[in-house]
Structure 1
């Protein structure tokens, strides 16, 4: 229970800090970029270091990095298939999810995390 309270408080503080940073930067579209993902990742890593040690947190960081690359591949696939190939949304989603899975699990396998 204590872990969830700490995660809630640290996450809220860090989300607020990143939101203020996003509000300061131009263009305003950066505000959403700094709003959630980095702050949640930092709070999670801080708790992971405290609860499980630095080695565990390092593995989590590699997994987060693999997820980031996979999400970029997913987004690129969606943009290409919708805008250039003019595929339907349902087909595009299925193909992009497969791309995300292949990239993420492939990177995890290469990194030795699976």
Structure 2
């Protein structure tokens, strides 16, 4: 329970800091990019270092990097499917999910995953 409270507090502080940073940048919509994912990742990695050590946190960070690469490929695949086949967003997203799975698990298998 204490870990969840710490994660909640750390995430809130970091989200607020990124929101203030995003509020100072132009365009204003750029602040949304800084709002959630980086702050949650930093809070998670901070807790991982404190509880499990730096090697565990390093494995976590590589998993986050692989997930980000898979998300980029997924996003490109969704755009490609939407433009080429003119499907609705839901079917295109479901089809492109296979790309995310292939890239994410391919990177984990090929480059090493969290042990």
Q: Give the TM-score band, short-chain normalised.
A: over 0.9
TM-score, normalised relative to structure 1: 0.94
Is the Cα–Cα contact under 8 Å of residues 70 and 104 in structure 1 kept in the other structure? yes
- Matched residue, 2:71: 71
1:25-36, aligned counterparts within 5 Å? 25-36=25-36
> What is the number of residues matched between the two proteins?
114
TM-score, normalised relative to structure 2: 0.93
Structure 1 residue 85: Cα displacement: 3.2
Structure 1 residue 81: Cα displacement: 1.2
- Matched residue, 1:14: 14
Gaps of 5+ in 1: none
CA RMSD of aligned residues (A): 1.2
| Structure 1 runs, 4 residues or longer, greater than 2 Å off | 87-91
Quickly say closer, same or farther: Cα 1:20–1:99, change in 2 above 3 A.
Answer: same
Gaps of 5+ in 2: none
Structure 1 residue 66: Cα displacement: 0.3
